[in-house]
């Protein structure tokens, strides 16, 4: 598969790139950000995926989280995909929390979404092939981080692909889309009304159905986050992990909100958590 | 003077704020970003000003440069003003490099700009009063940083107010607006065609007319900056400083461009440079 580099900017000695490619599974052109630390000719580096939240694009994390400093130090490639298929021919919705910008990292089965809204296949299969082919990436060493809707994506994709990911962490994730308004709207819209089809996209349900797959899962959650009680409900994941014997390090961070100011503060901890496992 | 806090978000243990106020010298409402590190009840902290470049607002540096981590560690308040007066009643120009977003940190004398375009008075006098009144700021300890057009602002305002600033630094600054297309357009537009009126807003001319005022001036300039040869010309400032006996640490940073990826890489060096002098 071919890709085109659309921008390249030096940052902490490495390169912050944006590439564009034609996605088969999404049926549209997509842009993805990649940070590649400075490296020797022969060396391949581990890959950390960062999945963003509602309304975000491939640009939010590279611009606002400041991950490059620590990724450069630790020698981690960081890949930031977009949050949905894009384009005038791609279905959309007037709401900010459904349609473009809100792909929820699943493969839709309902019309008119099923042709394009296949972000799970995109992140779990198509994009890794591209990254492995075009960057000095050691695809045997991958980890995944997500924020909010992207936290949901990181947890579910990691739990379904434990062989691929050495570790997983999240900032203020949607841990149970079956049990919050954002998730119920998205799952019903993309998958239909049969709730039995939803469990495969619910981190709480997934962790309950599997033996412990990771030595630890790191979640940071701000206590001043406006979405904490109504949407995020980390206690549900805490209960599910406890019941399943999955170790969870849930850190309630006093006074922090849902923004990138929160992510920027703790991204170093997450990258070091992953580097120790890669 | 009254101000209204329009947003507040915790970041690295401190607060990233945006306040709004009615500016007398600019004749409009203005927004300013301020980072206030965590502090004890009694302590006042030194203040670092960050002046942004063309098309930027008060939001660019706090969102993209990642300065908060080091400012929190060093106990520095960082104030990021907007780059021009704002509002539907404020004159503007179709060009991206003149009018709103392009105030050039001077007091305009030409119509229709002179009522509102007084960014020098705003940054040098009105805003410091507000900051000193409403934040735990030790106004006897101030430093100033700027980027591009803001680098011009930082250098000129510091050179004209050496009693107020303990130190000054810049990223890819416009060092001689009298000798580059951006500067000639702005100076002619805001000040009129008499070049004799321009020298008071030209860092090279200012440093030539004064004895050494700072123990050192730090400038970082990327060698892959598209504006290096046509607009920025750091060698002019190097020559002016050498002639005036002003020590200058001009660092040509190989491969870096004009973006915030460059600033984010070296902002820590600048904050430590200033903290050592505050």
Helix, strand, coil % over all residues of chain B, rounded to 5: 35, 25, 40
Query: Which residues from B are below 8 Å from A35, CB to CB?
Result: none
pLDDT of residue B43: 86
Q: Which pLDDT tens digit goes with each residue over A4-44?
A: 999 999 999 999 999 999 999 999 999 999 999 997 656 89
Inter-chain touch A68–B264, beta carbons under 8 Å = yes
pTM equals 0.96
Residue with tokens 């399943």: A244
Burial A179-191 (b: 16+ CB within 10 A, else e): bbebbebbbbbbb
Dihedral, CA atoms, B59, B63, B65, B70, nearest 10 degrees?
110
pLDDT of residue B40: 65
CA dihedral of A132, A135, A136, A138, whole degrees rounded to 10: -20
Please indicate whether residue B225 is annotated as part of the active site: yes
The reported pLDDT for the residue numbered A40 is: 66
Summarised one tens digit per residue, pLDDT across range A84-125 is: 999 999 999 999 999 999 999 999 999 999 999 999 999 999
Is ipTM beyond 0.85? Answer: yes
Tens of pLDDT, residue by residue, chain B (278 residues): 789 999 999 999 999 999 999 999 999 999 999 999 997 656 899 999 999 999 999 999 999 999 999 999 999 999 999 999 999 999 999 999 999 999 999 999 999 999 999 999 999 999 999 999 999 999 999 999 999 999 999 999 999 999 999 999 999 999 999 999 999 999 999 999 999 999 999 999 999 987 778 999 999 999 999 999 999 999 999 999 999 999 999 999 999 999 999 999 999 999 999 999 99
Contact B158, B142 (CB under 8 A): no
pLDDT band at A212 (very low <50, low <70, confident <90, very high): confident
Record: contact B64-A64, CB cut-off 8 A: yes
The mean pLDDT value for A181-201 works out to 96
Q: Contact at 8 Å (CB) between A116 and A91?
A: yes
Q: What is the pLDDT of residue A2?
A: 86
Which residues in chain A touch residue B38, judged by CB atoms under 8 angstroms apart?
none
Decide if B156 contacts B202 (C-beta within 8 A). Answer: yes
- Cβ distance of A10 and B224 shorter than 8 Å: yes
Q: How far is CA A136 from the centre of its chain?
A: 21
């Amino acid at each position: 598969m071919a890709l085109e580099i659309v921008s390249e900017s030096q940052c902490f000695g490495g390169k912050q790139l944006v590439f564009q490619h034609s996605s088969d599974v999404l049926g549209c052109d997509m842009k993805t950000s990649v940070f590649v630390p400075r490296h020797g000719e022969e060396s391949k580096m581990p890959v950390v995926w960062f999945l963003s939240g509602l309304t975000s694009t491939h640009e939010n994390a590279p611009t606002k989280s400041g991950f490059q400093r620590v990724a450069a130090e630790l020698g981690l490639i960081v890949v930031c995909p977009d949050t949905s298929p894009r384009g005038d021919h791609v279905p959309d919705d007037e709401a900010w929390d459904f349609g473009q910008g809100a792909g929820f990292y699943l493969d839709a089965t309902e019309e008119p979404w099923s042709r394009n809204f296949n972000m799970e296949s995109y992140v779990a299969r198509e994009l890794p092939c591209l990254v492995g082919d075009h960057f000095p990436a050691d695809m045997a060493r991958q980890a995944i981080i997500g924020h909010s809707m992207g936290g949901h994506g990181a947890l579910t994709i990691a739990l379904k692909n434990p062989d691929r990911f050495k570790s997983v962490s999240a900032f203020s994730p949607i841990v149970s889309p079956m049990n919050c308004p954002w998730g119920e709207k998205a799952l019903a819209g993309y998958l239909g009304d049969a709730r039995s089809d939803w469990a495969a996209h619910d981190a709480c349900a997934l962790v309950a159905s599997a033996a412990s797959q990771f030595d630890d899962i790191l979640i940071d959650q701000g206590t001043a986050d406006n979405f904490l009680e109504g949407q995020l409900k980390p206690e549900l994941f805490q209960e599910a992990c406890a019941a399943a014997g999955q170790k969870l390090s849930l850190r309630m961070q006093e006074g922090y909100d849902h923004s990138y100011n929160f992510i920027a503060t703790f991204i170093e901890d997450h990258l070091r958590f992953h580097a120790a496992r890669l």
